Amino acid sequence: MLNQFRYPVWQEPYLAAIIEMDSAKMKAKIAFAEDAIRVYMIDGEAEPAERQAILGALNALKFIRR
C-alpha cells in the first residue's frame, strides 16, 4: 500500500481514517492520522505541494470528525 502514495508517511493513515465505516474506529484512526501529520511536519520539511495536500487532508479529517 505504501507505494501507492506520493507522501506515504501521512497519506496511508489518512486514507485509513477516511475509508473507515465504524464510527468508534474512525475516531481513533482520525487521531492517529492527525498525529502522523503533526510528527511528519515537525520532523520533515514538506515542499509547497505537499503542504497544500496536508492542509487539504487536515480539513477533510476535521470535516469527517463531525
Per residue in 16-59, pLDDT (tens digit) is: 999 999 999 999 999 999 999 999 988 877 889 999 999 999 99
Indicate the helix (H) or strand (E) that contains 33.
helix 23-43
Please check whether residue 33 is in contact with residue 10, taking contact to mean a CB–CB distance below 8 angstroms: yes
Of 46, 55, 16, nearest in space to 32 by CA: 16
Q: How confident is the model at residue 3 (pLDDT cuts 50, 70, 90)?
A: low
Cβ burial, residue 11 (10 Å; 0-12/13-18/19+): buried
**Is residue 5 pLDDT above 90, yes or no?**
no
State the pTM of this model. Answer: 0.84
